[in-house]
Structure 1
């Protein structure tokens, strides 16, 4: 009996082991299928079918998009968007220009101070110095690429002497550039206002530039007298400043005896020679006006200075300088006025009700170095000590017989002919 029980127990244990093994295998197989087919047998077929359908739909859509009609529509839309984009860019450019003009206008002084320095405390008594030199503008070669190329070749340290000339002043022009060459000044340029002057300068190896054709300007340049040409120069000069060059603007009735660039201060927007003939008239004085009818208050003090000469001045490429040229050119275009008078009014008249003055720094040149012909013929030639001085330039601005006096100045200072100036009267013979 014991043997039978033992056999039955063994059979039962073997049977339990088989069941456990079967369960384990089932669980293992289930795990494997769960890993390999996470979505089950039936869903995988449907997903595959959906993917197949999606690919078919995409292919159908792609083929339809490639149709000629839709491509044409897309091209038309693209052209419309491109045109709109170009128009928007143009509007943005115009707005930027207006913003720049506004900034350069009423807020210009404030912005320049902010750009140059942070707010500072005032120093001890007697040590405080105000801002004198305005910053130069950023050069813009797009204004005149051809002129920019010429200036890059001729100018020295971004500075150049510029004169405008037409055939009316050809003899004086020859004395003008002969004296410049004699001194050895390399950076000078003639703006030819007609073809004859262009050819004349080329024949004499004189740097020359002729503007693009402009009927209004050409008519003045070819036939205009001295005052008409003088008015024209302010419009032309603007481009030089926009290109970032400082200009020593010169009339042609001037004899050069030294290099003027060695005698400039460059601390102002405009540095000009004076029409004054002594220290008071050239540099300013307190003139007392007497009105007896006012009794105790009969004496009124006035500040006076003789005008700057608009035929010889050094101008830096700054915003106030360009504004000065714009103001002068605009007034001369609408008023029957003398350019030298307008030049001085815009430089000196202060702001007052109904008028905003120009905020430009200015300097008067030494009247014995940058000499006008009144100083020379009325004073210097009669003084043995002053005759020993050698001016930088002599401007024959006070006398109508310009050419013979220019030649005499050249003979006296260059060739050493001591009596070359003696035959001329102090003033002109006109009454």
Structure 2
């Protein structure tokens, strides 16, 4: 009995020990499983997804199919690139249209500010229309260096500007010596080459060295009067954008008074005339006769001699800038055209089918104050009364012997030498 009891006790102890070991093993397994689940969420062994594997297998193709696929992709790429270029072009066009629309909106707002509220027409003979366009808002970002120079040179946002290269050094010296003698402070030479810049600096003349692009550099350095004259319309644009009114001057001009004391400033462009009397300078009714028309043989025409593009006052307005742009574009497109002819055509031609005329106000300067050399040598020097009149400027535009005539003008008006003009013919010898 005792032996059986001891054996039973021994079996009980062994069974309990086995169960304990099993429970410990299970606990350890669960703990390891948790650790593996935490650190290896995708499992210890990764197998390709069946669907992904099937796609990969499906992409395996023969060399012929691969070549066709490559050609198709190249074609699609070329098509996309072409569409991209087209979209960029459309964006640029829309940007330009938006800019023009904003400019038109800005101009309309300025006109509203000028016009103010609407008014009824006044009594007969009392109605006067506006003649002065509003000035643009200055934009110094256009040319900060030039803006800084103009701050120091201009007086009341106005100045005389001349373009010059080293070919006209002698005339330019007479030009600025007389400007200084009259007491004009607000003037500037736009030097088109390094030699002219140094010449101006050595003579204490305000100068701005304009860096031109390659297309204009050769003209600026070596061009004659007409060639250089064509550049001024592009260069002047920056002055207007900066908000300055410019009295553009050729260098074959003798200054005898301060021109700023004799300007009206009521128009976009105020210019001297190539006319030589009241009719040609200010306009007249010219009757054209065509006998074959019988009763209607006489046709009335309105005529005026052209404005001189070598001496004009231009205000910083939208029509003024548009004028400069139009002339510059045409001179680029028509390189053989004369800048003065183009200047007048754009200023005077009215709107007509296929063409929108320029809506700019203009004024003709007094031909005896702002005198061309035809008026002086053909009329004034021969008239005892007109000889007593002292002009503001004399522009030697009608004669090729400019230097000698400029010196004679100084002798006559400044030095008082009454016979200084007598030895010259009315016109030129050729």
Q: Give me the TM-score of the superposition, normalised by structure 1.
A: 0.76
Q: Distance in 2 between matches of 1:104 and 1:225?
A: 36
Paired residues for 1:261-410 under 5 Å = 261-335=260-334, 336-410=336-410
Once the 2 structures are TM-superposed, how far is the Cα of residue 97 of structure 1 from its aligned partner? 6.2
- 1:130 alignment partner, SS class: coil
Paired residues for 1:234-253 under 5 Å = 234-253=233-252
Counterpart for residue 259 of structure 1: 258
- 2:281 alignment partner, SS class: helix
Q: Deviations over 1:66-92 (max 9, x none)?
A: xxxxxxxxxxxxxxxxxxxxxxxxx99
Counterpart for residue 137 of structure 1: 136
Q: Deviations over 1:350-404 (max 9, x none)?
A: 0000000000000000000000000000000000100000000000000000000
Q: Distance in 1 between matches of 2:373 and 2:106?
A: 39
Q: Deviations over 1:266-319 (max 9, x none)?
A: 000000000000000000000000111111111100000000000000000000
Q: Distance in 1 between matches of 2:107 and 2:381?
A: 45
Counterpart for residue 101 of structure 2: 102
Q: Distance in 2 between matches of 1:210 and 1:95?
A: 36
Q: Distance in 2 between matches of 1:173 and 1:298?
A: 51
Once the 2 structures are TM-superposed, how far is the Cα of residue 225 of structure 1 from its aligned partner? 1.1
Provide closer, same or farther for how the CA distance between residues 131 and 301 of structure 1 changes in structure 2, counting only shifts above 3 A: same
Q: Distance in 1 between matches of 2:207 and 2:93?
A: 34
Q: Distance in 1 between matches of 2:97 and 2:211?
A: 27
Once the 2 structures are TM-superposed, how far is the Cα of residue 126 of structure 1 from its aligned partner? 1.0
Counterpart for residue 115 of structure 1: 113
Q: Distance in 2 between matches of 1:269 and 1:108?
A: 18
**Equivalenced residues, count:** 339
For the Cα contact (< 8 Å) 2:331–2:337, is it kept in 1? yes
Tell me the C-alpha RMSD between the 2 structures: 1.8
Once the 2 structures are TM-superposed, how far is the Cα of residue 93 of structure 1 from its aligned partner? 11
Counterpart for residue 188 of structure 1: 187
For the Cα contact (< 8 Å) 2:107–2:318, is it kept in 1? no
Q: Distance in 1 between matches of 2:169 and 2:320?
A: 29
- 1:248 alignment partner, SS class: strand
Q: Distance in 1 between matches of 2:107 and 2:213?
A: 35
Q: Distance in 2 between matches of 1:342 and 1:252?
A: 21
Paired residues for 1:67-216 under 5 Å = 98-104=97-103, 111-116=109-114, 117-216=116-215
Q: Deviations over 1:168-226 (max 9, x none)?
A: 11110000001101100000000000011100000100000001352222211001111
